[in-house]
A and B are shown apart, each in its own frame.
Chain A
Amino acid sequence: MSRLPAHFPLLNPPSPTPSNPPAARGAPVFHVRGLTKFYGEGATQVRALAGVDLDLHAGELVVLLGPSGSGKTTLLNQLGGLDIPTAGTLRYRDTDLTHATESELTLYRRESVGFVFQFYNLIPSLTARENVGLITEIADHPMPAEEALGMVGLSPRLDHFPAQLSGGEQQRVAIARAIAKRPAVLLCDEPTGALDVHTGIVVLEALERANRELGALTVIITHNAVMADMADRVIHFSDGRVLSEHRNATRALPATLRW
């Protein structure tokens, strides 16, 4: 028996969305130049990012592909203000994230960024509604927790604790938590990495809808090349650098993806 509802009316967009033409937008949300990140020192030093140049625009849905250890997560962590790069330029709108203080980064994450992680990272002692509420409590113009959970099709599971939810449901709570504050940026690190195909697609639908309806710049890291079809732009990462990128003419609906 599937634990997921058969279909979500709210999550059924009528048709594939045309890709947003880049010219329609002004200044980029992220301006990245020569971004470099070293871990450790001396002999054991690792270069995780080796000069990344990248502009990311509002409303875009970007899929980031690349082999394991190529620095995807590292890049996402820098974008999300979880870490500070070793060298290079990293600007979020007018804010210089390379020289931000700890509390400036906290404020930045709090106001502008929504995170979705491979391992959900929910608070086990809070219910779905409370996990989202926890964040809306500290946000400026949040949507009600129930509305965010509705957007990911979890209205019937509001008062369940993480341990009582399936992996896909937990991930959708995490997405609801990320979008409830109406973030300008939605950063997802292998959001479907721990899920089966069917569940993964439900999660991707939730992300796609959040991107479309909230207009949040959405970056999705994945090892799954199939997911590239749902993006506006696909970036290939290798050895801490952008290897190549291409733009899709139209975004495929997640429901049409198969792997």
Chain B
Amino acid sequence: MIAHLDRKLLRDLKRLRGQAAAVSLVMACGLAMLIMARSLISSLEGTRAEYYQTNHFAEVFASLKRAPNHLADRIRALPGVATVQADLAVPVTLDLPGLDEPASGIVRSLPDFGEPELNRLFLRRGRWLSPGSRGEVLVGEAFAKANALNPGDTLTMLLNGRRQTFHLAGIVLSPEYIFESRPGAALPDNRTYGIFWMPYKEVATAWDLYGAFNHLAITLAPGAGERPVIAGVDRLLRPYGGLGAFGRKDHPSHIRVTDEIRVLTILSIGFPIVFLSVAAFMTNAVLTRLLSLQREQIAILKAFGFTNRQIVVHYLKFAFVMVLAGLGLGLLGGVALGQNLVVMYELFFKFPDLRFRLDGPAVAIALGVGLGTVTLGVLDAVRRAARLPPAEAMRPEPPANFRPSLIERTGIARLLSHSFRIAIRNLERRPAQALFTVAGLALATALLILPNSFKAGISEVLDFQWDVVQRQDVNLGLVEPSSARLAHELARLPGVTSLEPSRSAAVRVHFQGRSRQIGLRSLLPGGRHSRAVDRAGREISPPPHGVILSSKLADVLGAKIGDTLVLEALEGRRPFANVPLTALAEDFTGIAAYMDLHAINRFLGEGDVITGASLTLDLSRRAEFLAALKEIPRVSTVAIKETMRQAFRETTAQSMGVIQSIYLTFAVIVAFGVIYNNARISLAERARELATLRVVGMTQHEVGAVLVTELVILALLAVPLGLLMGTGLTTFIIGSVNTETIRLPLVFTTYTYAFAVVVVLIASTLSAFVVLRKLKHLDLIAALKAPE
């Protein structure tokens, strides 16, 4: 048996279902985002933690040139070290049928017999390597998928310059390569870059590394600190070309997942706040209207002995029903969004089993936050209504007071039509309601700016990267530093129209106690291919002495132009040098330092060597060039601009598509909901006035125009504000997701703004139209009876 008061609640809800639905929908957007983001965070964190645990992911990592295997025992003896796994990681190029350009990647060694202790693989398909086998390889899933490779296929690989054919035994995943991409690349290019595993013997033989290792994975003893271990490892590896040990938090694949979790955390806080505030304001508007309508009912209830508290609870229940409906929708929406995003994550992250797991606590948080916000939004209004002495409440509300609006008092009154006056005076009389509507519409507009601006930013990064900074068609990397004479040989390959040699080295940059391990890249004075560009887009020519840093790196180090940095080479004889910071380069992916090619060679003291080259091609002879390139064994990596660009475009198009449709949906819901609510409330409050206008001979359209004028004024205020807000929001979000791996420039185009404006206006117009149809059913005769 439902209490009678609850029955009243149900009837009130039924009458106000349109508005209640609008509120619930807006709330659902925020709660969906909250549930989605929190669930994804727990899915990602949980799945990653389990994966790490099950597959014994290491805690400290180090690369080095080469060291004898017995060195591993000394590392094992370091205090705080639990397990040490010494293995090999070497570059490889592949010749894939159907792929006219060479692919490249890394080959990792596996113990010849038995499973590795750390960083164990997960077998997705096929089988493990047969113990003691030769000529077999395991392939990372991302590469296998992108190239449609299956167990049983054969692969032609160039190992240390020797072409060999391998049998693909199985397709695997590794906790070291959850994000499987070229080092430093912002986005994966799985078609031309892959990870492979072979028995130690195979790799060591091919590279003359038998009895040695060049990569270390370490786990820490329980309670041991990471820093002392890293320091100890660095000390021991120094004579063997150690490149600096690092912990999980600097592990490239780990960082990518962590970055994503960080973005989700921002989403899980920012979005719900914004949406729930709008929803709370909308609830407030709906309830305030309901309360003023029911003044006399409240008075009667009180006259018959209901307590203030019962009345407050009664109206709060009204709000809570909307929250519950919003939570239900938000739950559905959150799960749907989460499942969509998990699919998108599969483009980037390779887990044995990443599934969307609905996070129970997230739902509870959503419920709590939802109830909390609407209570905040309405409690005051409800309390005031309940406290009204019955005698006072029995009297109808005093007539509305109006005065000439501010705008009219500026003297343009004569130019205003009557419906414009009615509209503007009503808005001024209820500034809060107008303000919330404007805020809601502005929010919708702002939401639409973000994804397009993201997209424009990414496309600008791609254009910048490949049209401004790297204008070559192909980048070649050499197996090891070679004499500069190799450049002449490469320049003679068919189709090559120009060639510039390059030299890169692993270095650590130090400045006042802060340091970063980065790639030092060469620039050629007057070079036409790789360049460094400053904030204003001007080319920076490499100084004969001194170094140019990515401006992000300078930020991280806290260094300014003119400061002296210490460069520590991590290879060769590992020299140190003091170099002045002479300029800041604007780059968007990774962090790097740039120096004159000759200056690098002087610094490293290895004579006139190169580690790679950039080329431009006569594209009609591309196939010929690639065929000839395969005959040059010393080339280890080949990156072809067009291919990478295409791959990035596809990945971004897919992921941005998902994100854009989410924002679009949310924006449309908010715009529609906010306008609907505003118009419904105006319609309800002014039914009498509008009906009177109809009685005295105005047509439906003319009466509609009165309402529409109000909405148009609100939209005219809201849209520019929304564009501003969107610009701010985008600036904030892009700023807060900027990392050392990728930074997006802020790009705001006319298209971005126009898109937002058009979508919001269409949604608002449709919404207004839905409400205006109700004018048809205005009860003309009821309006002439005694006022309610």
Contacts and interface: CB of A to CB of B under 8 A. Distances in A.
Contacts of A177: 696
Contact of B784 (A109, A121, A138): A121
Contacts of B783: 121
Contacts of B429: 125
Interface string A129-143: 010011101110000
A161 B403 contact: yes
A123 B692 contact: yes
B402 A163 contact: yes
A130 B688 CA distance: 18
Interface stretch (B75-83, B420-428, B763-771): B420-428
Interface stretch (B24-32, B258-266, B652-660, B697-705): B697-705
Contact of B786 (A113, A119, A163): A119
B780 A82 contact: yes
Given A106-B699, A138-B698, A125 B426 contact: yes
B784 A117 contact: yes
A16 to B, nearest CB: 32
B403 to A, nearest CB: 7
A172 to B, nearest CB: 16
B399 A163 contact: yes
B2 interface: no
Contacts of B684: none
A111 B697 contact: yes
Contacts of B692: 121-123
Interface in A180-195: 189
A118 B235 CA distance: 98
Interface string B625-659: 00000000000000000000000000000000000
Contacts of B700: 106
Given A138-B702, A161-B402, A189-B784, A123 B694 contact: no
B96 to A, nearest CB: 74
Nearest to B787: A119
Contacts of A134: 418, 693
Contacts of A11: none
A248 interface: no
Interface in A98-119: 103, 106-107, 109-111, 113, 115, 117-119
A119 B788 CA distance: 11
Contact of B697 (A125, A126, A135): A135
B95 interface: no
Nearest to B784: A117
A224 B584 CA distance: 93
Contacts of A137: 417-418
A110 B699 CA distance: 9
A124 B399 contact: yes
Nearest to B417: A137
A106 B404 CA distance: 30
Nearest to B698: A138
A162 B692 CA distance: 15
A73 B780 CA distance: 13
A19 interface: no
A138 B401 contact: no
A136 to B, nearest CB: 10
B391 interface: no
Contact of A124 (B404, B689, B780): B689
Interface string B484-504: 000000000000000000000
5 contacts: A73-B784, A109-B696, A130-B421, A137-B418, A162-B402
Given A109-B697, A110-B698, A127-B404, 8 more contacts: A83-B781, A106-B698, A106-B700, A110-B696, A110-B699, A139-B697, A162-B399, A163-B400
Interface of A: 73, 77, 80, 82-83, 103, 106-107, 109-111, 113, 115, 117-119, 121-127, 130, 133-135, 137-139, 161-163, 177-178, 189
Return the 7 tightest CB-CB contacts between A and B, nearest first. A110-B697, A125-B425, A121-B692, A109-B697, A134-B418, A125-B402, A161-B402
